[in-house]
Amino acid sequence: MAGERNFPSPSAFLRKPNMASSMRSLFSDHGRYIEAFRRFLANSTEHQCMQNFIEEKLPGIIARIGDTKSEINILSIGGGAGEIDLQILSQVQAHYPGRHINNEVVEPNAEQIAKYKERVATVSDLKNIKFAWHQETSSEYQNRITEKKELQKWNFIHMIQMLYYVKDVPATLKFFHSLLDTMGKILIILVSGTSGWDKLWKKYGSRLPQNDLCLYVSSPDIIQILETLEIKYDCFDLLSTMDISDCFVEGNENGELLLDFLTETCHFSKTAPPDLKAEILEDLQRPGFSVKEREKILFHNHLSFIVVEA
């Protein structure tokens, strides 16, 4: 509504303290988090789904971002190991052949940055692209450039599967939107309101380990914030699945890591109270959470692609 600033407060998305036991957040063991994320990528169509979007929809979205610019400035927030970033860059290169691209990455995790740099070193077709990495969170970046008064404008900003880790989502969106150059766009990718994630978080969030590093946000939350901020956007939903069949094989290592990722709990199988574990394992097989297909249980990992305009 015009004039109203009725944001859901960040704490509205935070987990409530759970009474449970020895369960601890997956974020408390960084190595296990990265391994669980790797298993998630290997067992899901997450990156395939993003690749389809990048090939089919992104060319239209970026069609005018570089009009009249001698250099295209791209800012990646939470770029991870760069797999998706490089696909985006290749589309921008194809659309603006020979144009110089300045690609800056804001990523707090040193290992991810190291992997991103390795990847860049092995890809040959990156000429005309200048890379810079900033090992910091989006709010650290925001504070740093605000203090230095270096408010550079960007032609394309992307936030892919990372808004869960931002403390103040409305302030973050407002800030990065203010950095868009004329014709600039922001691409936000996160789980959709129809995903199994949304259902899992709503039903079990309060019984899983408390962790203020991760908010249970899905696309309807972001859309509500954008509407309150009166920022123009478009939203595309795409289906994606995650094969969670191994989660139902007792003692299966892959299944245990996937369950850790689903519940964001370190060693969920071994540390969760038996009733909670049984309920979650049962729900994960229900319609709304997953679908059974050829002996496999495929969790709804549906994604929303939100394109924000300057």
Ligand X SMILES: C[S@@+](CC[C@H](N)C(=O)[O-])C[C@H]1O[C@@H](n2cnc3c(N)ncnc32)[C@H](O)[C@@H]1O
Stretch that binds ligand X, among 54-62, 155-163, 234-242, 296-304 (CB under 6 A): 155-163
Q: Which of 72, 89, 126, 162 binds ligand X (CB under 6 A)?
A: 162
Smallest distance, ligand X to C-beta of residue 232, A: 24
* Closest CB to ligand X among residues 83, 279: 83
* Closest CB to ligand X among residues 72, 88: 88
* Closest CB to ligand X among residues 37, 201: 37
* Closest CB to ligand X among residues 43, 138: 138
79 lies in the site for ligand X, by CB under 6 A = yes
The answer for residues whose C-beta is within 8 angstroms of residue 240's C-beta and 6 or more apart is 44, 45, 46, 48, 49, 301, 302, 303
265 lies in the site for ligand X, by CB under 6 A = no
The answer for residues whose C-beta is within 8 angstroms of residue 70's C-beta and 6 or more apart is 99, 100
Stretch that binds ligand X, among 73-81, 190-198, 245-253, 270-278 (CB under 6 A): 73-81
106 lies in the site for ligand X, by CB under 6 A = yes
160 lies in the site for ligand X, by CB under 6 A = yes
* Closest CB to ligand X among residues 39, 276: 39
163 lies in the site for ligand X, by CB under 6 A = no
The residue among 236, 188, 248, 216 whose CA lies nearest residue 15 is 216
109 lies in the site for ligand X, by CB under 6 A = yes
10 lies in the site for ligand X, by CB under 6 A = no
132 CB neighbour count, 10 Å cutoff? 9
Stretch that binds ligand X, among 8-16, 64-72, 101-109, 250-258 (CB under 6 A): 101-109
Take residue 71 and report the two structure tokens written for it. 């250099």
* Closest CB to ligand X among residues 87, 102: 87
276 lies in the site for ligand X, by CB under 6 A = no
Instruction: Give the residue at shortest CB distance from ligand X.
Output: 80
Q: Which of 80, 170, 205, 209 binds ligand X (CB under 6 A)?
A: 80
112 lies in the site for ligand X, by CB under 6 A = yes
Smallest distance, ligand X to C-beta of residue 45, A: 13
In order, the DSSP letters of the chain are: -TT---PPPHHHHSPPPP--SS-EEGGGSHHHHHHHHHHHHHTBSHHHHHHHHHHHTHHHHTTTTTTT-SEEEEEEES-TTSHHHHHHHHHHHHHSTT-EEEEEEE---HHHHHHHHHHHHH-S--TTEEEEEE-S-HHHHHHHHHHTT----EEEEEEES-GGG-S-HHHHHHHHHHTEEEEEEEEEEEE-TTSHHHHHHHHHGGGSPP-TT-----HHHHHHHHHHTT--EEEEEE--EEE-GGGGSTT-HHHHHHHHHHHTEETHHHHS-HHHHHHHHHHTTSTTTEEEETTEEEEE--EEEEEEE-
Residues in binding contact with ligand X, number by CB under 6 A: 19
170 lies in the site for ligand X, by CB under 6 A = no
Q: Which of 53, 72, 107, 228 binds ligand X (CB under 6 A)?
A: 107
Q: What are the residues binding ligand X (CB under 6 A)? A: 37, 77-80, 83-84, 106-109, 112, 137-138, 160-162, 165-166
